[in-house]
Structure 1
């Protein structure tokens, strides 16, 4: 049986980003984000309902400050008591798993989608989308603090009890119990 474009996307294979099923998921997420991002800050029940409808899994005590942006939402799992501050963007074309007790500062970007480096491999005339895309999941452990304006690239795993300094570009895995920062982000010391 041939895989759907969604199955290809989640398997990390090249896929058509303009597949009708994916476009339908995209539009559903946009509607839910519009609702969430426009709710009054005191409407905690409405905010929880919108997030529960948008995201794959939302632990107890999760707090997300609007505006919050994502591609599909359903591929995002967030552990209990995690705070995601304002203006974060999660490109969840593959899974994004965030553990419990996390602190995600403003303007953090998490990407799971990627494109070939070579233009002749990236630009395509064969499908509906004019470019090729594949994905890799991102995993962020428990008790992680990610500083503002940091970028987490596809395929990265950040261990438990990690602090990522503000403005970092995380291009490779970061082990448990470390402080890491920079561009590219590197481990500075064990903590």
Structure 2
């Protein structure tokens, strides 16, 4: 089943909405069936797993890889670009759009959240919510247990340290970490020589392309 455009437009409007619409509920159930099938594949069934991923997700690019289990509210709102990689237990609260750039690496147990609920109590009683897009650039690395909140953009090549809570945009080419996540330094000449702390990059990887 293709998710109806009306449902997608509602979720991606940036406005408050309820998710008790019959068409929306039916569409989400169909997506959950695909998610179940994806997670049920054996390691030897990579062709089948990739075919399901292309049905489940908004995009699943060339040579992309997601290690099961994957958890997602929808799947269809997530755009996973070529050569991107996600380790096990990626959680996508993707009622809004999630864009993951080429060659981006996502560590285990990461959570990407596009959706929140109003602060006003009476609106929460009506089970209302809103969704704001998350954009993760090209060649980004999210360490293990990173959480990215609604509306955040992470720029190309940046590294987000393990267990960080990303509440605001992170520019390109930065090392950032913490709760909340803050920029620590810019990626630079030091990183041309050292791959981690005082450990020098060994041949043949010491030659920068």
Q: TM-score, normalised by structure 2?
A: 0.84
> Are 1:165 and 2:167 an aligned pair?
no
Unaligned runs of 5+ in 2: 188-209
Q: Give the match for residue 138 of structure 1.
A: 134
Gaps of 5+ in 1: 125-130
Structure 1 residue aligned with 2:173: 177
Shift of 1:22: 1.6
Count, aligned residues: 183
**Aligned partner of residue 142 in structure 1, secondary structure:** coil
* Shift of residue 6, structure 1, vs aligned partner: 4.1
Out of 117, 122, 129, the position equivalent to 1:120 is 122
Which residue number corresponds to residue 69 of structure 1? 71
Runs of 4+ in 1 over 6 A off after TM superposition: none
Deviations 1:3-62 (CA, angstroms, capped at 9, x unpaired): 955423211111111211221121111111111111111111101111011001111011
Contact 1:16 1:133 (C-alpha < 8 Å) held by counterparts:
yes
Report the Cα offset of residue 117 of structure 1.
1.9
SS of equivalent to 2:9: helix
- Report which structure shows greater RCO (CA 8 Å, sep ≥6): 1
Aligned to 2:48: 46
CA-atom RMSD in angstroms = 1.3
SS in 2 for 1:133: strand
Secondary structure class of the residue paired with 2:18: coil
Normalised by the size of structure 1, how large is the TM-score?
0.92
Match 1:31 to one of 23, 30, 33:
33
Superposition pairs for residues 83-122 of structure 1, below 5 Å?
A: 83-122=85-124
Aligned partner of 2:146 among 144, 150, 155: 150
